[in-house]
Structure 1
Amino acid sequence: MVKKKAMCSSQTDVPGADIGMIKIRELHDFKEHPFKVERNQELFELRRSIQQEGILVPLLVRKNPDGEGFEIIAGHRRKEAALWAGIKEVPAIICSMDDDQAVIAMIDSNLQREKILPSEKAFAYKMRLQAMNRQGKRKELSSDPLEPKCIEEMVEISLLEADISENGKVNIKMTDSAGGYRSNEQLARMVGESVTQIKRYIRLTKLIPKILDMVDRELLAIRSAVEISFLTEEEQYELHAVMELEQCIPNISQANRLKRMSQQKQLDMDMIYDILQELKPNQREQVKIPFDRIGKYFPPDYTPAQQADLIEKLLKGWAHQNKKKDVQQEI
């Protein structure tokens, strides 16, 4: 049940939009929402802010297309922080949007965050591009049937722009057209990425979750991950098993070889082992000594470089002494 609220710090210029208080139990997450909402330090800070000042920016919702209640378009983190704080209802702007408008508004509101994981960008860009293409196709179907079109190459799109931030006003408006840009070019201009980088991110959606998680944790480079995405699902699971067992990560050259072997139907577990066990150009055998074992022997003001020089000097002296002993024994 929505309670009207006369006073609200946020504004909206969407015709027919309504602002009110909605019970949290009536809110449903957006279907296939690509952005992670975790109870981490950032959400804890948001929770504390909400406890002290309340929710300054209302959530953006629409009536749930799959049943009762409302579907969140923007404000998943605010909802979770409020729930964590024990709040039962939140302010929300209730708008009427079709699925593609809702997807675009949902993604635009989240892309304003400072830190976005590669996996979040991957699925967000894919969803937004699909929504843009569908909008373009609908416009093409409603135009002059005698006029030649090439929808896959170039579309004009009426977009719903959403300017939603944690501490700002909510402004939602329909723009005119995308100006005749290809849909992927238009998306690239919106998010400040190159078309090539957009394609790379979308390609990451072909990865199995375990390997995509490695990209998010910065264990696997994006360009290497793109090459790996061309492997079959079964091959990716085998590759992940080898990476975990051998504690090794393929570089771009090795990832490209894995891709080519897969395309030639020649990739199996043995081939994966062979490729990953190759010595990389920058890979050298190293001896690692925990600092807590040797740190106490260095002067407090010694830099890591000075420590390495001293170790090398002492080892040279030790080797020289051993050589002298060997000579004396021979005599």
Structure 2
Amino acid sequence: MEKKGMQSVEEKNISMVALADIQPSGYNPRKHFDEASLAELADSIRQQGVLQPIGVRPIDESGKFEIVFGERRYRASLMAEMTVIPAVILNVSDEVAEEMAVTENLQRKDVTPIEEANAYQKLIESGRHDIQSLAVQFGKNETYIRTRLKFTALIPEIAELLEKDELTISVASEICRYGEDIQREVFDKHLKEGITYGSWRGMKATEVAKNIERDFTADLDRYNFDKTLCLSCPHNTNNMTLFCEGGCGNCAKRSCLAEMNTAFIVEKSVQALSAHPLLSLGYNPYYYDADAVHRLKELGYEVTEPSGRCYQYPELPEEPQSSDYETEDAFREAKLEYDQEVNDYMEECKELVRRNEEGEISLYAQIGQKDISMCYVEVPTQSSGSGQTAGQEQLSPIQKLEKQDKRNKEIAREKTIDDAKRRIFEVDVTEAKFGAEEDKMIYFFLLSSLRKEHFAIVGIENEDIRYLSDENKLNIIANLTPKAKAVIRRDYLIANFKSNAYGNNAVADLLLEFAQKHMPEALAEIKSSHDEVYEKRHQRIEEKKAVLQVQEQAKHETEHSESDTTEQQPQSQEAAA
């Protein structure tokens, strides 16, 4: 392709540019620089200088330059403690600078496969190249370019192994055919450092490819959904050109495989229910597609684990083909046997339908891992200890559906409540005005503390009612009076005082304030009686304290007198001397 805007180095004058005025560019595909190799280049530069100029371009009007190509020579020059470096100053756009940097580095022999892959990817993303033009420009075949481009899909851990030559290019080429999930498992189980048993390091590419296909892909022949789209899918191992042995191939994208399998089971289950309204949906608790069950429940279908032993529904006999028989007589005899088997099958199906309609059995479409199967469960009779009382009648098919519909509605409400409880904490209620309905809700909860002697005030006249049901509470808050509100609130306060007031806590202070307002005389009497006891006890304590204080004073005076006598004796001895 045409390199519009590219400038030939030979056409430009070479200038000496101060290393202090140069900075690296983010365009360079080379991310790793070998220190030993740089040291060797630095020694060469000290002796001979930089033999090939680097390419730089001006940065705005700052007088600084950005490297277009030659960052390795720049780094080695710094290491060699040079002050200037020969450079070709290029006036090119960002796009051209990036392409020049990538192109120049791709021509180096020591570029790593990952750096090469990222470089090719950048050139294609620039819109100036495609795989064909890259193959021509760099003298590679298209398969080589495509293989390198696939390395950009390697997870970082495996890419690092390739960078460090701990993984061969051929092995990496096999691994990069697969998605991130499979690559992650391959690395964790077989390539991570320290793995001894099951390590794939050192294996040939063909062995790694076979191992991945065996351990991390699924045989499409084992699935029953329509695999037309799979035939052209790039994740089908048949389209990876290796080890293709016919058949549908193996699927290497498990998320897609699971989705197609789930969709197939859901669609087949819905079709079965449409054809047989009295059919129930069940699942094998040990072997079923959980996503299919979940999706069917979201669509409104009831899916349950069959209660009891499941008996396989009869299967339609397979019709014989004339090509399978050596003689016409043998085929005719097989056809007669087949017709009899079909008649037996039809009779058995009719009997099962009758028994299902009369409630003797329950027919199920049972969800498995890859398909659904027809089965039935015996319905326990009264004599078999089902717990059914004599007064209970067997439900008709329509009654069963109505019962199921009622339960489905209950489930919808239950799930709505559960989700609302989880989400309600996310609602910002700080700015909304507190409404009348919310005020009623408050009283609904306060009514839990209402004393029985106040039931009549809120409209409950029946003396036999010992506690308020939710229905009673809803009726009360629908007809609240100012007097009822005051009684409800005060009973709530009293209940909290009773439970939480003690010692010197804040609730105790609030209790005394409440009592002072509503029962001042009684509070004064209570307080007086307890204060009287306190005063007597206080008097006794003060008397004991007075006695102790007299004793302490006497003891102190005695100790002081003895101390004075001791001090006077040495003074008398000194005077005599």
Match of 2:76 in 1: 81
Normalising by structure 1, report the TM-score: 0.54
- Deviations for 1:13-50, whole angstroms, at most 9, x for unmatched residues? 15xxx543333233222214222442433322211111
- Deviations for 1:129-149, whole angstroms, at most 9, x for unmatched residues? 333x2x47xxxxxxxxxxxxx
Distance 1:209 1:222, change over 3 A: same
The answer as to whether partners of 2:28 and 2:69 remain within 8 angstroms in 1 is no
Equivalent residues in 2 for 1:246-261, closer than 5 Å? 246-249=198-201, 251-256=208-213, 258=216
Q: Match for 2:211: what amino acid?
A: Q
Match of 1:321 in 2: none
Equivalent residues in 2 for 1:1-331, closer than 5 Å? 12-14=10-12, 19-64=14-59, 69-131=64-126, 133=127, 135=128, 183-233=130-180, 235-242=182-189, 243-244=191-192, 245=195, 246-249=198-201, 251-256=208-213, 258=216, 262-265=252-255
**Cα distance between partner residues in 1 of 2:63 and 2:121:** 28
Distance 1:66 1:123, change over 3 A: farther
Distance 1:83 1:74, change over 3 A: same
Q: Match for 1:194: what amino acid?
A: N
- Deviations for 1:42-94, whole angstroms, at most 9, x for unmatched residues? 32221111101111222101124798732211111101101111123322111
- Deviations for 1:140-191, whole angstroms, at most 9, x for unmatched residues? xxxxxxxxxxxxxxxxxxxxxxxxxxxxxxxxxxxxxxxxxxx311211221
Normalized per residue, which structure has more helix? 2
Which segments of 5 or more consecutive residues in structure 1 lack a partner in the other structure? Answer: 1-9, 137-182, 268-331
**Cα distance between partner residues in 1 of 2:166 and 2:103:** 28
Distance 1:264 1:209, change over 3 A: closer
- Deviations for 1:242-271, whole angstroms, at most 9, x for unmatched residues? 22234324712234554655412399xxxx
**Cα distance between partner residues in 1 of 2:87 and 2:255:** 53
- The secondary structure found in structure 2 opposite 1:113 is coil
Taking only the aligned residue pairs, the percentage that are identical comes to 29
The answer as to whether partners of 1:228 and 1:256 remain within 8 angstroms in 2 is no
Alignment RMSD (CA, Å): 3.1
The answer as to whether partners of 1:43 and 1:77 remain within 8 angstroms in 2 is yes
Distance 1:251 1:104, change over 3 A: same
The answer as to whether partners of 1:29 and 1:71 remain within 8 angstroms in 2 is yes
Q: Match for 2:53: what amino acid?
A: P
**Cα distance between partner residues in 1 of 2:256 and 2:36:** 46
- The secondary structure found in structure 2 opposite 1:199 is helix
Normalising by structure 2, report the TM-score: 0.32
Larger Rg: 2
Q: Which has the higher contact order (CA 8 A, sep 6+)?
A: 1
How many residue pairs get aligned? The number is 207
**Cα distance between partner residues in 2 of 1:251 and 1:68:** 54
Distance 1:11 1:251, change over 3 A: closer
Moved over 6 A (4+): 65-68
